[in-house]
Chains A and B, each alone.
Chain A
Amino acid sequence: MTVASQVKQTLASLKGIHAGLQQLALTSQDETAQRTFHEAMLVTEEIIADIKNRIGRLEFEEPQYHGK
């Protein structure tokens, strides 16, 4: 597996985590828990943006991995 595809897999997991946290933020009954999940969700958004950037760079530097 190439580096780019590995990083892409991580990106997919991150998106899954993001969705899971969002779900919990919506269904939790306690306000503190809701807030914690929501904040965690926002942090994952930052990480996702970073990783997306990195994938863009990887594909730019090594075009042979593009789209894989």
Chain B
Amino acid sequence: MPIWLETAIRSICILIGLFVITRILGKKQLSKLSFFEYIVGITVGDIAGTMSVDLGISLQEGITSILIWSLFPVAVARLSLRNKKFRDFVEGNSTVFIKNGKILEENLKREKYTVDELLEQLRKKDVFRVADVEFAVLEPNGDLNILLKREKQPLTVGDVFPNPPREKEPQTVIMDGMILDEPLAAMGLGRGWLKEQLDKQGVAVENVFLAQVDSYGQLTIDLYDDKIQIAEPQEKKLLLAAMKKVQADLELYALQTNSEEAKALYERNASKMQELVQKVEPLLRN
């Protein structure tokens, strides 16, 4: 067998083997690489590379080594799932750097962090004043995470509206001009409904690149032809406007009428309508 052929066969086999191994190792390895896992990854790659080129190494030796290097982290991950103490030992603990707004110098020293590095990490998180930080912790993977003081935290919807309406994830119902039945069914809707909505907007299914349904059953679409203007869904806004108009009308009638009985009736219903508007306005506004 010519040397090049042997190298080719080895390389292809090792490639396939590595692919399987990375599949087994899973996604966690990608997102949260500890130092140990990082080293293991490099070493496995190195062994594989050497094995495919260096014909002096027998396949037995190489495969044994690669299996040990790649299966050991899997075993460690399995064990640390079960045992908290083992997990702490393997993955390390987080170190608190700032507590109650005060820097803990001892912990900085223990992690060999200079103040400059701490400031740099804080700036990465858009914090330029240490005084704004209530709590900061160095995670085992080297990230610094911070909790700002209450008055420095960004405003959230919950701060402005005490009970904001909940919103579920929108579903994509048309992709590349094809209707996706599964998400449509998940929303409790059908092809008939979709057809009706598209007809309302005056477009054919084939011309739709992407269509999504939000949690209020409103359809938003993107067409292949970007020159065509599509109106945003207005139903909710129109409904809110109609409710406000009716409320105003009822108040007007209450003022215009001479009959006491009718006045009472109009006023009662006007206030009912007012309450109604207040109740549904947060849901209809966007």
Contact A43 to B272, CB < 8 A, known contacts A14-B246, A33-B165: yes
Contact A13 to B279, CB < 8 A, known contacts A27-B189, A28-B215, A54-B262: no
Over the window 7-25 of chain A, the binary record of Cβ atoms lying under 8 Å from chain B Cβ atoms (1 yes, 0 no) is 1001001101100110110
Residues of B within 8 A of A (CB): 165-168, 187-189, 215-217, 235-236, 238-239, 242-243, 245-246, 249-250, 253, 256-257, 262, 265-266, 268-269, 272-273, 275-276, 279-280, 283
C-alpha spacing A6/B262, complex, angstroms: 15
B269 contacts A32, CB within 8 Å?
no
C-alpha spacing A33/B214, complex, angstroms: 13
CB neighbours (8 Å) of A5 from chain B are none
A25 to chain B, nearest CB (A): 10
Closest to B243 in A: A17
CB neighbours (8 Å) of A51 from chain B are 269
B242 contacts A30, CB within 8 Å?
no
Q: Contact size class for A?
A: 20 to 34
Contact A17 to B246, CB < 8 A, known contacts A24-B216, A24-B236, A40-B276: yes
B156 to chain A, nearest CB (A): 19
A33 contacts B166, CB within 8 Å?
yes
CB neighbours (8 Å) of A33 from chain B are 165-166, 215-216, 283
B269 contacts A30, CB within 8 Å?
no
A29 at the interface (CB under 8 A from B): yes
